[in-house]
Structure 1
C-alpha cells in the first residue's frame, strides 16, 4: 500500500495531471478495495496537510533544505511524516521500517539512513505518545 502511495505522490511531482488522474493510473490494477481506500486516504491526507508536513520535515533537517532533497527522499519523508502524525493506529517502528525500505528501494545508497534519521527526529518531536506503545 505504501509503495502505491509513494508512486502517486512521486508522479505528482512531475505530471500536470490531477491527483485523481494519477491515483486512477496507479491504482489501475489494484483489486483490493481496502488497499484502494487506504491509498486514496493517504494521498488525500498528505496533500491536505502538506504545509504542516513540510514544516515538520524542514524543522528536522540538518544542513539541508526541503528543496535540496532528492525527490525520492522528499516523497518518502512526506509519506512517513503523514503516517506518523495522522494515522493513529500505525506504530512508529512500522512507519520507520517501511519508509526505510522504500528509500532503499527507490533512492540512493544513503537514502535509507537519511530517511531513518529525519523520521526518527520527527517521531520523537511530534508523534503522539500512544503511537510508541502500539
Structure 2
C-alpha cells in the first residue's frame, strides 16, 4: 500500500463520480483520484507501469466486469496482490448475499453510499484516515 498513491474509484455513474470528487476535494486529501467506469478499465489501468495506488473504492454493479469479478481477478493476480492495495466496496445496492460474496473474496470493507453530502464526507474521512494509519507489508 502506497499511502501517497492514487485513490482508484471504480464507478460508472457520472453523478456519483462528481459527488465523490466534491467530497474528496473538500476534505483536502492530496492523493490523486482516478475514476474508471468499470472493472475492465480498472484491470487494464492497474496493470500499467509504475501504478501503486493507495486504495480502491469500487461499486459492485457495473457493466463489462462487475466489482466481485474484478476483486476475484485482482486477488488471484500475483503481481497486483503483492501491492497490498486495500479494496473496498462502495455501493447503493446491498444485500446479505452481496456482502457475503464480497467478504468471501477478501475485501477490506463494504460501505453504503450515503444520501447526504455530510454523511458521505464522514464515511470517506473514516475510510481514508483508517487506511492512512494502517501498516502494510510493503510500506516499511
TM-score band, normalised by shorter chain: 0.3 to 0.5
Q: Name the structure with the higher strand share.
A: 2
Q: Name the structure with the higher helix share.
A: 1
Higher relative contact order (CA 8 A, sep 6+): 2
